[in-house]
Amino acid sequence: MSTAPRLATYDDLVALPEGERAEIVAGSLELAPAPLPRHARVQRALSRLIGGPFDDDDGRGGPGGWWILLEVDVRLGPHDIVRPDLSGWRRQRLPEPWDLRPIDVVPDWVCEVVSPASARLDRVVKVRLYREAGVSAYWMVDPDARVLEALVREGSRWVEAGRYGDGDVARIAPFEAVELEVARLFPPTR
Sign of CA dihedral 70, 76, 78, 82: negative
Least confident of 18-22, 25-29, 37-41, 142-146: 18-22
Q: What is the pLDDT, as a whole number, of residue 33?
A: 85
Q: What is the pLDDT, as a whole number, of residue 59?
A: 64
Q: Taking 60 as the threshold, does the pLDDT of residue 99 lie above it?
A: yes
Question: How do the domains of the chain map onto residue ranges?
Answer: 35-185
- Maximal C-alpha separation, the chain: 62
C-beta of residue 148 within 8 angstroms of C-beta of residue 139:
yes
Q: What is the pLDDT, as a whole number, of residue 34?
A: 85
Q: What is the pLDDT, as a whole number, of residue 5?
A: 81
Q: Taking 80 as the threshold, does the pLDDT of residue 27 lie above it?
A: yes
Closest CA to 110 of 81, 88, 141, 77: 88
Q: What is the pLDDT of residues 38-80, one digit of tens each?
A: 999 999 999 999 999 999 866 677 899 999 999 999 999 999 9
Distance CA 86, CA 96 (A): 17
Q: What is the pLDDT, as a whole number, of residue 89?
A: 98
Q: Taking 90 as the threshold, does the pLDDT of residue 19 lie above it?
A: no
Q: Taking 70 as the threshold, does the pLDDT of residue 132 lie above it?
A: yes
Mean pLDDT, the chain, whole residue set = 93
Confidence of residue 161 (pLDDT cuts 50, 70, 90): very high
Distance CA 81, CA 170 (A): 31
Q: What is the pLDDT, as a whole number, of residue 190?
A: 78
State how far the alpha carbon of 142 is from the alpha carbons of 7, 24, 117, 185, in Å: 30, 22, 12, 10
Is CATH 3.40.50.150 correct for 35-185? no
